[in-house]
Amino acid sequence: MCSKLRWCSIFLSCIVIVPGVSAQDKQTVLADETQDVAKGPPTPPFIVQPNDLLEIFVWKEPDLTRKVLVRPDGRISFPLIQDLQVAGMSPLQIKQEIEKKLKDFIEVPNVTVMVEAIQSYRIFVTGKVVKPGVITSEKPITVLQALALSGGFQDFANLTDIVMVRNKGNDNVVFRFNYPDFIKGKNFSQNIILKSGDVVVVP
């Protein structure tokens, strides 16, 4: 009997009590994880393209502050600097490049670059739609959105053979869109996101 009591006491002395996680701590951990998921991937910076309108502010230099349009060649004209390539750059990169070039004329240039109007994203819709023409947007749109912005279809439009034409260098890539199938819940993948310059044709 004594030996049994001795082994029990040894066993109990070896038990280590690990502090548990309180309900409040669990809520804190879950809140942190939810916050991380909600953040998602970082948003990529906006990339300036031809036809975008920029407002460039130079601190204490009102003669240099102005709005400039990005030309089709991707460049802007700016005092003291003359021509500057900006297409393909973010506003922050443009700011840094202007400040770098202005250092030859201003001791400590402080430049702010803002996108006044996004005019580079353009989609063309032609054929039997109510309002054929050019659609400009601040962000990419889908085929269905382009058709809606064009006012819908005219009578006798062929809704099964709508095509999107995309220019790739010397070649054209054609995508097809079957409107009746789409509204029946078939082949949702055909409602692609259009790229600037795409042409939607409704025969």
Q: Do residues 88 and 136 both lie within one domain?
A: no
Residue 104's Cβ-count burial label (10 Å; 0-12, 13-18, 19+) is exposed
- The strand pair at 162-168 and 171-177 is best described as antiparallel
Is 40 within the bounds of a domain?
A: no
pLDDT of residue 42: 65
Q: How many CA atoms lie within 13 A of 199 on its CB side?
A: 11
Is 20 within the bounds of a domain?
A: no
Which residue shows structure tokens 């049994």?
A: 4
Domain boundary among 83, 102, 117: 117
Mean pLDDT of the chain: 84
Is 5 within the bounds of a domain?
A: no
Query: Percent of the chain, pLDDT > 90?
Result: 65
Question: pLDDT category, 129, cuts 50, 70, 90?
Answer: very high
How far apart CA 69 and CA 95 sit, in angstroms, is 15
190 DSSP assignment: G
Identify the residue with better confidence: 5 or 134: 134
Is 189 within the bounds of a domain?
A: yes
Is 89 within the bounds of a domain?
A: yes
Question: pLDDT category, 24, cuts 50, 70, 90?
Answer: low
Q: Do residues 144 and 100 both lie within one domain?
A: no
The CATH number of residue 139's host domain is: 3.10.560.10
Question: pLDDT category, 134, cuts 50, 70, 90?
Answer: very high
Q: Do residues 111 and 138 both lie within one domain?
A: no
Q: Do residues 196 and 126 both lie within one domain?
A: yes
Residue 5 tokens, joined: 């009591």
How far apart CA 153 and CA 97 sit, in angstroms, is 47
Number of domains forming the structure of the chain:
2
Is 19 within the bounds of a domain?
A: no
175 has pLDDT over 90: yes
Q: Do residues 135 and 88 both lie within one domain?
A: no
Residues 71-125 have pLDDT tens digits of: 999 999 999 998 999 999 999 999 999 999 999 999 999 999 999 988 888 999 9
CB–CB of 123/145 below 8 Å? no
How far apart CA 145 and CA 182 sit, in angstroms, is 13
Domain boundary among 70, 85, 117: 117
Q: What is the reported pTM?
A: 0.57
How far apart CA 23 and CA 88 sit, in angstroms, is 50
How far apart CA 192 and CA 170 sit, in angstroms, is 22
pLDDT of residue 56: 97
Q: Do residues 130 and 186 both lie within one domain?
A: yes
CB–CB of 52/115 below 8 Å? yes
6 has pLDDT over 90: no
Q: Do residues 186 and 126 both lie within one domain?
A: yes
53 has pLDDT over 90: yes
Domain that holds residue 197: 122-202
How far apart CA 129 and CA 154 sit, in angstroms, is 5
